[in-house]
Structure 1
Amino acid sequence: MQIEDLFQRAHERHLAGDLASARETYSRIVDLDPSHSDAVFRLGVVDVQEGRYQEAIAWLTRAFDLKPGDRRYREALGQAFALAHRYEEATSIYRGLLDEDDADPDLWFGLGSALQAQGALHEAASAWEAVSQRDPRRADALNNLGNCCRLRNEPALAQSAYERALAAQPGNADALTNLGTLLQAQGRHEQAQGLLREAVAAAPGSPAALVNLGAVLIECENPQEAADVLARAVAIAPAFAPAAFNYGNALHALGHGREAQTQYRRVLEIEPGHAEAANNLGNVCRELGEHKAAMEAFETAIQARPDFVDAYNNAANLLRALGRQDAACVLLRKALALAPTHSATLNNLGNVLKDRGELEDGIVCLRQALASDPGNLTAHSNLLYALSFQSSDAAAILAEARRWAAQHEMPLRASRVAQAPVRASGRRLRIGYVSADFREHCQAFFMMPLLSNHDRTRFEIHAYSSVVRPDTITTRLATHVDVWHDVRPLGDAALAEKIRADGIDILVDLAMHMADGRPLLFARQAAPVQVAWLAYPGTTGLDAMNYRLTDPYLDPSSHDSQYSERSIRLPDTFWCYDPLAVEPAVNGLPAESAGYVTLGSLNNPCKLTDATLDLWAAVFAALPDARLLLMAPQGDARERLAARLARHGIDRARVRFAAFQPRDAYLRTYHEIDLALDTLPYNGHTTSLDAMWMGVPVVTRVGATCAGRAGLSQLANLGLDELAAFSDDAFVRTVVELSNDLPRLAGLRASLRARMEASPLMDGVRFARGMEAAYETMWREQRGAVTDAPESAS
């Protein structure tokens, strides 16, 4: 058979897509005639089609050497160099061809691609414009021009280029997608969403278009539709890592932790070095309580990307939650070495330092976090809460709360929905409680007696729960409300809309500025009447928060100017306590067998201020045989605290430490304590109630702020006012006298639990009636039914 006949047969096989047969026949021709340039050229084309770019370059170079004047060979060689990522050589080929004839838009397109791949963005942009000048219908070139401008940080020019691409070819899925993601990055989510929906309509089978739409839907707090869209992407392209990754993000936002976990692990099977998937997997594992798996995932993320600051932070937060404060500090300092002004890292380090008892250093970090990013709401809330432990100046705390409101609440005021406090005749007053802690958490000790005793014939009770991992306490609490709402997947705006639709009359914030609170929900005025209670006695600073609950002991009338909210005083007490267990029982007085008195405080170390240690030092100077038992995390924090105690004159040999423990073991620690010492300026709250439940009396030093008057409130409700000291000398005298009177101390220990059970502190019915009277007072005031409402709800 003649060579030309063979070539014709090879060409037909080639056009039919039978590349193996075409290659075999072209090779026979070259064996017969090594100078047959077209056959050599076609072998190079087959290699390009099969992704064998280096082999293709060799064949195409040989073809060019055989026939230097054939432009086709040079064009194909330029393409092969580009596909092999040999962009400089590709650029040289295209420039040579364009020097001879610059009219071909395809050559300009090839040059633009090679230049952009090398980062020569200015020259690349000129090449894309050259394509458009020669063929205005080339939407692909204009789309690439937009990408180039985006890389040059020229968003306006990028937007113009994408719009020109769409004018040249309406419905171009690539241009729609790129313009959509550009607007998404600018925060123009509504426009972005519309464009990305058009992209999906134009290319319904495109995984990339579906992924981008899903991602913007997640940002727009529409995780359910996002999950539906991304499930389609995963079905179309099971091995496309961005589809599984974003699907995992949507499932996580919906609270479907197990399903999200599956998707993130799928991503890591596809791309083992996908740091973001490993990091997100760690977050999900932590939420599921799988701490070992979570830490392994964070370590994988850091190994894949050693400068991954977010992964260092997440690993440190896990270590903090596990009580490994020193290890958490190490990771956070590594993160700061990578990014010294990273606001989230400074915030997290501030929290860890606060937990370790290094309150002053923690507050410095929190202020640095805010200086780095004034919009960091979490850091600002953490700072505001931390100031309650540091400062006895209520005016300074209020000033910071108002700064918080000016920064974070003010932008939302214009979008508030006005709601008149109107209730249909005969309908129960609807009360909504908002919390992420309807679970095994100290908050449950106070919510259980209230919820279980609400008068449901007069009040319709709703709970808006953002609990990550519900437990048996969650289930018990849910039995005491009319409607339980699991709202964890909802953002603040969506939750505000839901609460309005539910017709809630009075909305109660149980977290304020503590962890996992929703202050921006309340800033949106989700209900006609909004109230702060329980998290801690203090102020939110929000002008949308109408009221705060308190009691006559926490807040005498002279305190009213210290808060942005109107104070409503409950008849007896701010707290109604239920330990939710009868064990462990109260034991005998430890001093009777030990031969010395053990004073103790199981409060968080952040409450052990210098003012507190100075006060205690005078006690230990007067009681040379007394011992001290404190709670502090193991490691460096204990050593620092011991050194601080020594500087204040309390010998290290007189001090023992207990670790953070599960509740039963923590309560049993009171079996070793004879008398509890309170802290200043922030008294014990739940801790003091726990101590007295275990028979351990608490001597308090009454402070200047409501947080420093908690001991007074609790002791007054127990009829033990004599244990509340209004001066340092009185505090020392009370502790010393009681420590030297073991019969009296033993009598208190034996009777305290019964005294608590008989007091307003554990009278759930009485407390619920007081709360309900307070709600009715608020409702009447807001409706204008009374013109001079009383200060007390009693």
Structure 2
Amino acid sequence: MTSLSYASATMPSADSLAEAKMLFKAGRYTEAAARCRESLGAGHAVAESLVLLGSIGTLTGAAKESLPLLKLAASLAPKNISAINALGLAHKATSNYAQACSCFEQVLALSPDQTEALRNLAHSQIGQKNWQKAQAVFAKLYQQKKLSGKDWLPYATSLHHLKRNADAVVLLSQFLKIDPENADTWYMLGMCLYHTQGALASIEAYKKSIKYNPKKHEAYINLAAIYQKHANTGMAAQISRQALEADERYLPFQVNYGLALAALGKSHEAVEAFKRYIDAAPGSYRCHSNYVFYSQYLDYASAKDIYHRHNEWNLRHAQPLQRVWPKHSNDPSPERRLRIGYVSPDFRAHSCSWFIMDLLAHHDRSAFEIHAYANLERTDSITEKLKAEIEVWHDVEGMSETELARTIYKDGIDILIDLAGHTARNSLITFACKPAPVQVTWLGYPGTTGLTAIDYRLSDPWLTPDGTPEIFSETVYNLPRVSHCFRAPDAPEATALPARENEFITFGSFNNFAKISDAAVRLWAAALNAVPRSKFLLKSRDIGSQEAHDAILDRFRRAGADLSRIVFANGSERQAQHLSQYGLIDIALDTFPYGGMTTTCEALWMGVPVITMAGDRTSARYGASVLNAVGLGELVADSPERFGEIAAELATNIDELEKLRSGLRTRMAASPLCDGIGFARAVEDAYRDMWTRWCQSRQG
């Protein structure tokens, strides 16, 4: 009797599967799985047992191991909706979204009214980032009033990616009535509101997101970025500090904090923040670009140190890609028509646009086919003007760096020009892939990129004179003239000299605060001390921040300046108003060691002479290049003492200063700095020479 009792207790029962289902519903997955195996061992309801066992695996994190079971079930019962759906869920759990979509589509083909299959299909399409298809499926669920709590946010996300932000706002607002403390929903609402109602509305949504989840990292980042963009750097820094207090281990907060610190004039601290990030995440090439870029602002960094920082970027991020450089099959004919590609994130209302417009307008189209690769977050009226000057326009926003490299290679570009260097949204990894046989950097970055994949840096003898201690990874190609061409903006005429009415000289600087180093303030203090009763007007979009205000005044204090002679003015983002503010100053003083390029050109165009000091690297020689181009080389100092002497000489002779002001625009317009045709021919000659050198290297 004992042995018979034992046998009946261990023999699989026909009810094992039913028991497994009950245990499954109760969440007792281990026991349910055991009963499924019993059922399979007895050969009872094999397909159904496989489906349940596989589903348990998917739910308990073993989806990969469950796939063979579910594939077998689906093959045994090819029209079994439960088997196909369970297989789709396993594929979805292993991020194989294409196969998951295929499974759910099969289910719907067998049973079109399967709500869960529709829901699973929509979520899998989100996984594939197939926003259009996902949105269509979610819309069907919405119309049927069958959206579940987990559907609203991905539905809105698909609308956001399709740039249907207004529809997303309506949807998210409805869901917040159901779940008003959902931090993720408030975050997505902030993103959509920014594109529909502006910064103020999005700020409130991001704050709500943080309120309901103090560790909602993305909300802090976007909130800080908005404050930064809209000239409230004090709040950007405050939000970044708040974020770091919430989670100091989340490294991206260091990026926002570094950018805010730089805008506050605290470049030293900004570089330290970026360094903390790249030390912890050495593969982050974008933050590493921030680090090397803002190192250019440091007055204690030598030319050699600047080079080594850039070279480290190259060794870490670019050099490993050399093994995948393609073999270029471009026709090595020196005189043929060349395809030129310009790569930039700044084909918009950006300072770089003023220096490329005339080159594009005057390119010889019989000799050059012009392509532009535009990595733009958004376009504007300037984008349209630039498009009109370009034969082939490529919108590459959203394209990965390697995808862009493949596109450029397939386009057969002969000479590829980087216009951004290590500035925001750069494409240096694309250049590191060497998609074109000849690669050049120009315009948007002061000095070397560090990339051995870039062959040339286009420059001039004033930016990189013979004997410069500056070190380049590229071959420096000096044009026989200034290496920039300024397209003067629409602007009011120069005003009368303010000193006539004020009876004192007003110096000024309109450069951003990141450029205001201790060394720059010492130069400015020397000018103030050399000219009694003079004042210094400092204008910036970031001046509203008390933190920035205090940091700058502290620099003047340490430089020995009379703080009562320092005047602050809020900067306007509107170009006409910005330019009209040059009517408040008599003489502009350049920053150092990162000088102004656009601001120097704007000041001259508005009749305001600029005093600059030439340093040991490109960033400290922009003023020298521009002033020599317009015949004002005598305003370039070679020492701090000389800087003060030039200020005194200019300020002492009011009649000459007034005469210079009235004729400066005409003088500038007639100079090489505004000679678009001459500039285009010089650049094209350089391109042709570079190309010829490459052709000769092929023959060797």
Q: Any conservation in 2 of the 1:355–1:605 contact (CA below 8 Å)?
A: yes
Matches within 5 A, 1:78-477: 104-115=16-27, 124-125=29-30, 127-135=32-40, 137=47, 138-150=49-61, 157-170=62-75, 172-184=83-95, 192-204=96-108, 206-218=117-129, 225-238=130-143, 239=147, 245-246=153-154, 249=157, 252-253=160-161, 256-257=162-163, 259-263=164-168, 265-270=170-175, 272-273=179-180, 274-287=182-195, 290-391=198-299, 392-422=301-331, 428-477=337-386
Deviation at 1:133, TM superposition (A): 4.0
CA distance in 2, matches of 1:423, 1:291: 52
- What whole-Å deviation, never above 9, does each CA across 1:14-44 have from its counterpart, x for those lacking one? xxxxxxxxxxxxxxxxxxxxxxxxxxxxxxx
CA distance in 1, matches of 2:297, 2:374: 28
Distance 2:183 2:600 in 1: 45
What does the per-residue CA deviation read over 1:361-383, in whole Å, with 9 as the maximum and x for residues that have no partner?
11111111223322333221111
1:203 and 1:624 map into 2 onto residues whose CA distance is: 86
Structure 1 pair 683–213 and aligned structure 2 pair: CA distance change class (3 A): same
Compute the displacement of 1:181 (Å).
4.0
How far apart, CA to CA, are the structure 2 residues paired with 1:518 and 1:755? 37
Cα pair distance change 1:161/1:489, threshold 3 Å: same
Structure 1 residue 249, shift from structure 2 partner = 4.3
* Cα distance, 1:638 vs structure 2: 1.1
Amino acid paired to 1:543: T
1:651 to 547, 551, 562: 562
Gaps of 5+ in 1: 1-96, 117-123, 151-156, 185-191, 219-224, 789-794
- Cα distance in 1, alignment partners of residues 157 and 414 from structure 2: 34
Query: Using the alignment, how far apart are the partners of 2:554 and 2:298 within structure 1?
Result: 20
| Structure-2 residue corresponding to 1:65 | none
Q: Return the alpha-carbon distance in structure 2 between the equivalents of residues 416 and 710 of structure 1.
A: 34
Say whether the 8 Å CA contact 1:697–1:749 is kept in structure 2: yes
Change (3 A) 1:338 1:166: farther
| Structure-2 change in CA distance of 1:731 and 1:561 (3 Å) | closer
- Quick one: distance in 2 between partners of 1:425 and 1:139? 69
Q: CA deviation at 1:584?
A: 1.6
Task: Find the counterpart in structure 1 of residue 660 from structure 2.
Answer: 748
Alignment of 1:492-571 (within 5 A): 492-559=401-468, 562-571=471-480
User: What's the CA shift for 1:317?
Assistant: 0.6
- How is 1:783-794 mapped onto 2 (pairs within 5 angstroms)? 783-784=695-696
| Distance apart, 1:346 and its partner CA | 0.8
Quote the Cα distance in structure 2 between the aligned partners of 1:694 and 1:469: 30
Amino acid across the alignment from 1:731 = F
Letter in 1 for 2:486: Y
Q: Distance in 1 between matches of 2:430 and 2:84?
A: 37
The 2-side partners of 1:260 and 1:678 are apart by 43
User: What is the Cα deviation at residue 668 of structure 1?
Assistant: 1.5
State which drifts further: 388-397 or 357-366. 388-397
Of the three residues 537, 545, 549, the one matched with 1:635 is: 545
Q: Distance in 2 between matches of 1:326 and 1:534?
A: 30
Determine if contact 2:456/2:476 at 8 Å carries over to the other structure: yes
TM-score, normalization by structure 1: 0.77
SS at match of 2:464: coil
Structure 1 residues 207 and 521 mapped into 2: Cα distance closer, same or farther (>3 Å)? farther
8 Å CA contact 1:539–1:563 kept in 2: the answer is: yes
Aligned length: 661
User: 554, 559, 577: which is aligned to 1:665?
Assistant: 577
Shift of 1:260: 4.1
CA 1:548/1:618 → structure 2, altered by over 3 Å: closer, same or farther? same
Do the aligned residues in 2 keep the contact of 1:332 with 1:349 (CA within 8 Å)?
yes
C-alpha contact (below 8 Å) 1:261/1:281 kept by paired residues? no
Q: In structure 1, what is the Cα distance between the partners aligned to 2:356 and 2:435?
A: 22
Cα deviation code 1:234-283 (max 9, x no counterpart): 33555356666446545655xx42x1442354244235555434434433
- Tell me, what secondary structure is at the counterpart of 1:484? strand
Gap change, CA 1:312 and 1:700, over 3 Å in 2:
same
Identity %: 31
Q: CA deviation at 1:687?
A: 0.9
Instruction: Name the amino acid aligned to 2:294.
Output: A
Gap change, CA 1:780 and 1:692, over 3 Å in 2: same
Q: Distance in 1 between matches of 2:508 and 2:86?
A: 68
Alpha carbons of structure 1 residues 396 and 342: separation in structure 2 relative to 1, 3 Å = same
Q: Could you say what secondary structure the match of 1:507 adopts?
A: strand
- Asked if structure 2 preserves the Cα contact closer than 8 Å seen for 1:541 and 1:563, the reply is yes
Give the C-alpha shift of residue 197 in structure 1. 4.0
Q: Does the Cα contact within 8 Å between 2:244 and 2:250 map onto a contact in 1?
A: yes
Q: 758, 776, 782: which one pairs with 2:694?
A: 782
Q: Per the alignment, do residues 296 and 430 of structure 1 end up closer, same or farther by CA in structure 2, a change over 3 Å counting? A: same
* Closer/same/farther in 2, CA of residues 734 and 365 from structure 1, 3 Å limit: same
Q: Please give the alpha-carbon distance, in whole angstroms, between the structure 1 residues aligned to 2:323 and 2:223.
A: 39
1:127 Cα offset (Å):
4.3
Following the alignment from structure 1 to structure 2, what is the Cα–Cα distance between the partners of residues 231 and 325? Answer: 41
Once the two structures are overlaid, the 10-residue window that deviates more, 598-607 or 141-150, is 141-150
Distance 1:742-1:436 versus aligned 2 partners, 3 A rule: same
Q: Which runs of 5+ in 2 are unaligned?
A: 1-8, 41-45
- Structure 2 counterpart of 1:676, one-letter code: A
1:103–1:404: structure 2 CA closer, same or farther, 3 Å change rule? farther
Deviation of 1:665 after TM superposition, in Å, equals 1.6
Which of 1 and 2 has higher RCO (CA within 8 Å, sep 6+)? 2
Mapped partners of 1:454, 1:350: distance in 2? 39
CA contact (8 A) 1:268 1:278 kept: no
Secondary structure at the counterpart of residue 390 of structure 1: coil
One-letter amino acid of the structure 1 residue matched with residue 691 of structure 2 = W
Deviation at 1:164, TM superposition (A): 3.1
Would you say the 8 A contact 1:700–1:731 is kept in 2?
yes
Mapped to 1, the partners of 2:133 and 2:104 lie a distance apart of 13
TM-score, structure 2 normalization? 0.87
Q: Which one-letter code corresponds to 1:387 in the other structure?
A: S
- Partner Cα distance (1:565, 1:649) in 2: 41
Corresponding residue for 2:679? Answer: 767
Which residue number in structure 2 is paired with residue 37 of structure 1?
A: none
CA contact (8 A) 2:67 2:87 kept: yes
2:593 aligns with 681
Q: Which amino acid aligns with 2:545?
A: G
Higher mean displacement: 350-359 or 366-375:
366-375
SS across alignment from 2:341: strand
* Letter in structure 2 aligned against 1:695: G
Deviation of 1:656 (Å): 0.8
Spell out the pairing of 1:20-39 with structure 2 (5 A cutoff): none
The question of whether the paired residues in 2 share the 8 Å contact of 1:128 and 1:144 is answered with no
Letter in 2 for 1:779: W
